[in-house]
Chains A and B, each alone.
Chain A
Amino acid sequence: MTQPTPKPQSLRPQAATFGLSEGEYDLLVSSINREPNALEAAIVGAMWSEHCGYKNSRPLFSAFPTTGPQVLQGPGENAGVVDIGEGWGVAFKMESHNHPSAVEPVQGAATGVGGILRDIFAMGARPFAVLDSLRFGNPDSPRTRFLVNGVVEGIAHYGNAIGVPTVGGEVTFHPSYQENPLVNVMALGLLRHEDLATGTMGEVGNQIIYVGSKTGRDGLGGAVFASADLSEASQADRPAVQVGDPFMEKLLLEATLEAIESGVVAGVQDMGAAGLVSSTCEMAYRAGLGITMDLDKVPTRESGMVPMELCLSESQERMILVPVPGREQELYDLLDKWELDVVNIGQVESHNNYRLTWKGEVVCDLPVALLNEAPKYTREGVESPDIKAARERDLSGVPQPGDCGAVLLELLSHPTIASKRPIFQRFDHQVMTNTVVVPGAADAAVMRVKGSGMGVAATSDCNPRFVQLDPYTGAAAAVAEAARNLACVGATPLAITDNLNFGNPHRPEVYYQLQQSVQGIADACRALNTPVTGGNVSLYNQYTQGDERVAIHPTPTIGMVGVLPDISRRATLGLKAAGQTLYLLGEHADSIGASQYLESLHGLEAGRVPPLDLVLEQKVIDGTLALIRAGLTDTAHDCAEGGLAVALAEMAMAGSIGLSVTLDVPAEVRTDALLFGEAHSRVVVAVQDADATENKLRELGVPFVRLGESGGDALTVAAPARGLHLSVNLAALTLAYESPLVGILG
C-alpha cells in the first residue's frame, strides 16, 4: 500500500476546525512523522473529542471502583453488565443527547433513545426498560415549553414505536438549563450470561459487515458539535442533529439479537458518536489489530458523498457486525429475513493501522492505538468564590413561614416536585408486560423477569442544587439517593452508570466541580458497594451570549440498577390502608440549607448541603430492605426535594388515604427545617405491626422515629410544643400536585 499523498502544506492553522488544539495537532504530526491530510486530521479530531476520547474526564476516573462479584462487564464496552442471579444479567448504560436536543428537541431526544438502545442490544441483551433524566429551564418560558414538548414527543415517538417501555426517570426545572437542556437516557437490557457479546474485531481475516440504514449527511460531526459550547450560531447547526427511524432500529434489534444467540457473530458494535470511524476503530483497538475498509462500499443515501462525510456521519440505526469465520452466509441469510441491507466493507488485518481506501487510493492510514488513546488533560480546579459564599451564607435570618400548609401546596405545585403523570402517560410504560411498578407509583421502577421470581429495579437521580453548592457531597448524595430509592421498592442496589453533565472544563471553577463530583461518586459507590460499570460525559453545557457565559448546574446523573430476589416482597409509596403506623427511618432534618423550599419560597440558592453520613445511609437502606423482605411493610418512600412534608403528602395522595403525624423535636430545630429540610438518609414506611417493626429496627441498629398513623382524608402534621398545626385535605393537595405539568405540556 502507498502512503497517503502528503499535503503540500501543514493544516496546523486550521487545527481548530477539526476539533484539535494546535498542541494536539503537533502531537499528531510527531506521532506519525508526517503531516496528516484533512481526512486524517478530522478523524483524529473526532476520536479525541471529549465525547469519544474523554480527554478531560478520563484521568479522574481512576478513582471509581469498577469491580465486584456482581460485575459481569465493567467500563470500556458498549454497556456495563451486572449479574442478577439464575444465569441472568442486566446490561445498562446512560447517555446524554443534550446538544442535539437544545437545537432540535424532537429528533435530539428520539435519537438519544435510539443510540442507547443500540448500546444495550450490541451487548446481546434485549432492551426492556428506558428511563429519562430531563432538565429544563424556566417553566414559564416559551422556549422551555417548546423544549419539553419536543423532547417528550421525541422519546414517545421512538420508544413507543420500538416497543421498549419507558418506565421512569426524573424531570426538573431550573433557570441554569434555560439554553442547555439535559436529555439523559438510561436503558436496561436482559441477557443470559452465555449471550454476552463484545465489540471486538476478533481475528485477522474477519469480515467487517455494515448493516442497517444508509449513510447520509445528517449528524455530520456530531461528536465535535457536542464537545463545544452552544451559541446562537448553534441553532443554525441543525445538520449536526440526526434523524431517527425506530422501525429500522426494531429490525436491527431483532436481527442483532438473533445473530448473537445463533453464535454467528464474533463482534458487535453500534455506530454512535463519530459514526463509522469510532465504531470500527474501537473494535479494532479491543482486538489489538488493524483493519482496512473500502469507503466506496459504504451504502449512501445521497450522491457525491466524500470520505469525510462517509467517515463521520452520525446517521442513525447502523451497526457493525463481525461474522464468525465460516459462518458469513448464515449471518447474511438471517439479516435478509429482517429485510436489512448488508455490505462487507472491509477486513481485519495483521498490521496495526486504521486504513481506509477510496477510489483505489489510501486516504487514511493511522495507528489504531493513536486514535484510541486521546491525550489526557489534568487541569487545575478552583472553586468559584461566589459559590463558596453562597454555601457559607448565614441562614439564621431567613424568616419562618406563617402558614406551613400554604408552603406545602406551593412546593407540591413546583414543576420539579409536581406529578409527572402528563409526561409518562405519553410513553408506553407497559409494553413487554414486565412493568410491575409503573411510573409515579414508587421511588424506582420495577420489572419482573419472566420465568423467574426475580425483579429488576432501576432509578436515575441527581439533585443539581446540592451539586452546585457542594459538588463532592452533592454527587455522593446522588448515589445515596439512588440506592435509597431502590431500597424503597425492595431492591438490593447492585451498580451504577453515570452521566456527567458539566460546563466547559477549561474554566477552573467548572473543572473543580467535575473533579469533586467524581470523587464524591467514587467514595459513595465504594461505601454502598455499587461499582461504576460505565457512563457518559457531556461537557461544554454552556451558553455564550456576547461576553456572558452561562454554565448549567453541574449534573452528575446517577443511574442505578438493583435486584429483587423475590418480587412478591416489594413496596410502593402510596398508603395502602388506614390505621397503619408511620415511621421515619433515619433522623429528622435540622437545616433548610440547599433546599427547594429555600429556593422557591425565599429565592435563595444557598446554605450548606446537609452532611451525608454513608454509614447511616447503609443502615437506613438495610432497615428498609429488612422490613420489606420480612413482610412488615409494603409502603416506603424516601424524603427528597421538599423534605418530609412533601414525602408524606405524596404517600397520602398516591394511596388516597390521609395521615396524621405528631412531631416532637427540640425547639432549637426550625419548624421549616423539620418539614421541608432536605437531609439525606430518610425513609418513611407505613406498617401494620408496630412492635415487630420496632424490634426489627432495634435489632439492626437503625435509628427511627415514630411519626403517627394513616387514616382520614387530610394530611395533618402537628407539633403542639411549637404551636404547629398543619392540615390540608387530600383534594387540595392533589389539585396542587397534578395540575402544573398539564399546563406546560401542549
Chain B
Amino acid sequence: MSRVSALWRSWHDYEVSVVKTAVIQFPGSNCDGDALHAARLTLDPNAQFVWHTEAGLPSGTELVFVPGGFSYGDHLRSGAIAARSPIMGAIKAHAERGGFVLGVCNGFQVLTEAGLLPGALGRNRDLHFTCKPVHLRVENTATAFTSAYSQGQTIEIPIAHGEGNYYADAETVARLEGEGRVVFRYLDNPNGSLNDIAGIVNERGNVLGMMPHPERAVEALLGGEDGRGVFQSLQGALVK
C-alpha cells in the first residue's frame, strides 16, 4: 500500500476476529479512508479498497462497506451515478447471496438509488448541510447490524450531510415499520426524515443503510464509541 494511504492504515491494536471486508471507492468518495480505518480497527485488519470499475468483489468478501462522501460530486442526484457503476452488479449479487452490505451517508443514498433499499433521501428540511452528534434509538436488535446493542438503547453518533431527509410512500413506510426494518430512529430529527428514520434494513436484513456515521464513533479519542455496536454485531453474525 502507498505511503499516503498509510495515514489510514497504521493502527496497531487490531482486534482479533476477522470479517473479510471490502470498502468501495467511487470518484468523490471521501469517507472511504474512515470506513477502511474503522473496519480494520474493529473487524478486519486486512480490509481493502475496491475501485468502482472492478467487475467483481475480492473472493471471500463477507461485508461490503459503501462509504460516505460525494460520489461523482453529487452530480445528477446524490448517489445516482455511483449506483450505476460496474461494481454495483457484484454488490447486488453479493446481497442476493445473503452477503452483508453496509451503506453509510452517501453509501445509503447509493443503495437507495441502486434499488437495494427502498425510499430516497432528499435535502434536509432546513436546506443546510449539518455536522453534529445526534442521539438515535436502537429500534430493532434482531438484525446482524444491531445485535450488540440493547433494545431501545440511546446511542450518540455524528451526522454530516445535506441530503438525509428520508422519504418513501406511505405504504412502504408502513411496511418498514410493520416489519421492524427501521433499526435506528432520531430522537431529535435533524433533517425532516419521515417517522424520524435514521437507518433501515432490507427485507432479508442483510443490507443496512443509515445516514449517521458509525465509523466516526469507534474510538474514545474522537469523542465516543457508540458506533462500535454496528461492527461488533457484524462480527457476532459472521465469526463463528
Question: Is the C-beta of B128 less than 8 angstroms from some C-beta in chain A?
Answer: yes
The distance from the CB of B26 to the nearest CB of chain A, in whole angstroms, is 10
Asked whether, in the complex, the Cβ of A431 is within 8 Å of the Cβ of B70, the reply is: no
A126 to B51, CA, bound (A): 20
**Least CB separation from B38: chain A residue:** A433
Question: A450 to chain B: which residues have CB within 8 Å?
Answer: 7-11, 37
- The interface size of chain B toward A, counting residues with CB under 8 Å, comes to 41
Contact flag A438-B223 (CB < 8 Å), given A246-B70, A432-B33, A451-B11: yes
Looking at chain A's contact residues, is the secondary structure mostly helix, strand, loop, or mixed?
Answer: mixed
A338 to B34, CA, bound (A): 20
A492 to B132, CA, bound (A): 29
Asked whether, in the complex, the Cβ of B160 is within 8 Å of the Cβ of A160, the reply is: yes
Question: A432 to chain B: which residues have CB within 8 Å?
Answer: 33-34
Mask, B5-16, CB within 8 Å of A = 1, is 011111110000
Mask, B134-170, CB within 8 Å of A = 1, is 0000000000000000000000001010100000000
Asked whether, in the complex, the Cβ of A436 is within 8 Å of the Cβ of B130, the reply is: no
Asked whether, in the complex, the Cβ of A257 is within 8 Å of the Cβ of B4, the reply is: yes
Question: Is the C-beta of B221 less than 8 angstroms from some C-beta in chain A?
Answer: yes
The distance from the CB of B53 to the nearest CB of chain A, in whole angstroms, is 9
- Give the interface segment out of A31-39, A319-327, A420-428: A420-428
Asked whether, in the complex, the Cβ of A247 is within 8 Å of the Cβ of B34, the reply is: no
Find A451's partner among B9, B73, B132 (CB 8 Å cutoff): B9
Question: Is the C-beta of A28 less than 8 angstroms from some C-beta in chain B?
Answer: no
Question: Is the C-beta of B198 less than 8 angstroms from some C-beta in chain A?
Answer: no
Asked whether, in the complex, the Cβ of B27 is within 8 Å of the Cβ of A431, the reply is: no
The distance from the CB of B47 to the nearest CB of chain A, in whole angstroms, is 14
Which residues between 329 and 371 of chain A lie within 8 Å of chain B, taking CB atoms? 337-339
A656 to B74, CA, bound (A): 39
Find A195's partner among B3, B11, B28, B31 (CB 8 Å cutoff): B3
A392 to B15, CA, bound (A): 66
Asked whether, in the complex, the Cβ of B30 is within 8 Å of the Cβ of A163, the reply is: yes
Asked whether, in the complex, the Cβ of A451 is within 8 Å of the Cβ of B7, the reply is: yes
Asked whether, in the complex, the Cβ of B216 is within 8 Å of the Cβ of A433, the reply is: yes
Asked whether, in the complex, the Cβ of B129 is within 8 Å of the Cβ of A426, the reply is: yes
Asked whether, in the complex, the Cβ of B69 is within 8 Å of the Cβ of A436, the reply is: no
Question: B27 to chain A: which residues have CB within 8 Å?
Answer: 247, 250-251, 338-339
Question: A161 to chain B: which residues have CB within 8 Å?
Answer: 28, 30, 70, 73-74
Question: A245 to chain B: which residues have CB within 8 Å?
Answer: 73
Asked whether, in the complex, the Cβ of A433 is within 8 Å of the Cβ of B37, the reply is: yes
Question: B2 to chain A: which residues have CB within 8 Å?
Answer: 258, 261-262
Contact flag A163-B69 (CB < 8 Å), given A430-B160, A431-B31, A448-B221: yes
Contact flag A190-B222 (CB < 8 Å), given A247-B73, A432-B34: no
The distance from the CB of B124 to the nearest CB of chain A, in whole angstroms, is 11
**Least CB separation from B190: chain A residue:** A425
Question: Is the C-beta of A192 less than 8 angstroms from some C-beta in chain B?
Answer: yes
Question: B223 to chain A: which residues have CB within 8 Å?
Answer: 436, 438
Mask, A226-267, CB within 8 Å of B = 1, is 000000000000000000011110110000011001100000
Question: A442 to chain B: which residues have CB within 8 Å?
Answer: none
Contact flag A426-B130 (CB < 8 Å), given A161-B70, A261-B4: yes
Question: Is the C-beta of B75 less than 8 angstroms from some C-beta in chain A?
Answer: yes
A431 to B215, CA, bound (A): 10
Asked whether, in the complex, the Cβ of A433 is within 8 Å of the Cβ of B130, the reply is: no
**Least CB separation from A149: chain B residue:** B128
A411 to B25, CA, bound (A): 48
Question: A163 to chain B: which residues have CB within 8 Å?
Answer: 30-31, 69-70
Question: B55 to chain A: which residues have CB within 8 Å?
Answer: none
The distance from the CB of A609 to the nearest CB of chain B, in whole angstroms, is 37
Which residues between 429 and 450 of chain A lie within 8 Å of chain B, taking CB atoms? 429-436, 438, 448, 450
The distance from the CB of B162 to the nearest CB of chain A, in whole angstroms, is 7
Asked whether, in the complex, the Cβ of A451 is within 8 Å of the Cβ of B10, the reply is: yes
Question: A686 to chain B: which residues have CB within 8 Å?
Answer: none
Asked whether, in the complex, the Cβ of A451 is within 8 Å of the Cβ of B160, the reply is: no
Number of A-B contacts (CB under 8 A): 113
Asked whether, in the complex, the Cβ of B10 is within 8 Å of the Cβ of A435, the reply is: no
Asked whether, in the complex, the Cβ of B74 is within 8 Å of the Cβ of A431, the reply is: no
Asked whether, in the complex, the Cβ of B34 is within 8 Å of the Cβ of A436, the reply is: no
**Least CB separation from A194: chain B residue:** B3
Contact flag A428-B131 (CB < 8 Å), given A339-B27, A567-B221: yes
Which residues between 466 and 519 of chain A lie within 8 Å of chain B, taking CB atoms? none
Chain A contact-residue range equals 35 or more
**Least CB separation from A246: chain B residue:** B73
Looking at chain B's contact residues, is the secondary structure mostly helix, strand, loop, or mixed?
Answer: mixed
Question: Is the C-beta of A162 less than 8 angstroms from some C-beta in chain B?
Answer: yes
A428 to B68, CA, bound (A): 12
Contact flag A428-B70 (CB < 8 Å), given A160-B162, A339-B27: no
A162 to B6, CA, bound (A): 19
The distance from the CB of B6 to the nearest CB of chain A, in whole angstroms, is 7
The distance from the CB of A526 to the nearest CB of chain B, in whole angstroms, is 34
Mask, A395-429, CB within 8 Å of B = 1, is 00000000000000000000000000000111111
**Least CB separation from A340: chain B residue:** B27
A109 to B31, CA, bound (A): 23
Question: B30 to chain A: which residues have CB within 8 Å?
Answer: 161-163, 250, 431
**Least CB separation from A338: chain B residue:** B27
Question: B129 to chain A: which residues have CB within 8 Å?
Answer: 156, 160, 426-428
Question: B37 to chain A: which residues have CB within 8 Å?
Answer: 433, 450
Contact flag A430-B221 (CB < 8 Å), given A450-B8, A451-B6: no
The distance from the CB of B64 to the nearest CB of chain A, in whole angstroms, is 20
Contact flag A431-B10 (CB < 8 Å), given A160-B160, A192-B3: no
A338 to B2, CA, bound (A): 16
Question: B72 to chain A: which residues have CB within 8 Å?
Answer: 247
Which residues between 276 and 322 of chain A lie within 8 Å of chain B, taking CB atoms? none
Question: A436 to chain B: which residues have CB within 8 Å?
Answer: 221-223
Mask, B54-97, CB within 8 Å of A = 1, is 00000000000000111011110000000000000000000000
A274 to B73, CA, bound (A): 27
Mask, A169-202, CB within 8 Å of B = 1, is 0000000000000000000001110110000000
Asked whether, in the complex, the Cβ of B9 is within 8 Å of the Cβ of A428, the reply is: no
**Least CB separation from B8: chain A residue:** A450
The distance from the CB of A196 to the nearest CB of chain B, in whole angstroms, is 12
Question: A257 to chain B: which residues have CB within 8 Å?
Answer: 4
A448 to B8, CA, bound (A): 12
A194 to B3, CA, bound (A): 10
The distance from the CB of B61 to the nearest CB of chain A, in whole angstroms, is 22
A258 to B1, CA, bound (A): 11
Contact flag A425-B132 (CB < 8 Å), given A161-B74, A163-B70, A247-B28: yes
**Least CB separation from B34: chain A residue:** A433
A509 to B38, CA, bound (A): 56
Question: B75 to chain A: which residues have CB within 8 Å?
Answer: 247
**Least CB separation from A438: chain B residue:** B223
Question: A162 to chain B: which residues have CB within 8 Å?
Answer: 30, 70
Find A250's partner among B8, B28, B158 (CB 8 Å cutoff): B28
**Least CB separation from A160: chain B residue:** B129
Asked whether, in the complex, the Cβ of B70 is within 8 Å of the Cβ of A247, the reply is: yes
Mask, B177-208, CB within 8 Å of A = 1, is 00000000000000000000000000000000
Asked whether, in the complex, the Cβ of A428 is within 8 Å of the Cβ of B160, the reply is: yes
The distance from the CB of B108 to the nearest CB of chain A, in whole angstroms, is 16
Question: B38 to chain A: which residues have CB within 8 Å?
Answer: 433
**Least CB separation from B160: chain A residue:** A428
Residue contacts A-B, CB under 8 angstroms, 19 given: A156-B129, A160-B131, A160-B162, A161-B74, A163-B30, A190-B7, A247-B27, A250-B73, A258-B2, A426-B130, A428-B129, A430-B131, A430-B216, A433-B215, A433-B219, A434-B222, A436-B223, A448-B221, A450-B8
Where the two chains meet, the residues of A that have a C-beta atom closer than 8 Å to any C-beta of B are: 126, 128, 156, 160-163, 190-192, 194-195, 245-248, 250-251, 257-258, 261-262, 337-339, 424-436, 438, 448, 450-451, 567
A160-B160, A163-B31, A450-B11 given. 6 additional CB < 8 A pairs?
A: A161-B70, A161-B74, A192-B6, A261-B4, A450-B37, A451-B9
Q: Ordered nearest first, which 9 A-B pairs have the shortest CB separation? A: A163-B30, A247-B73, A451-B10, A161-B70, A433-B34, A428-B160, A428-B131, A257-B4, A261-B3
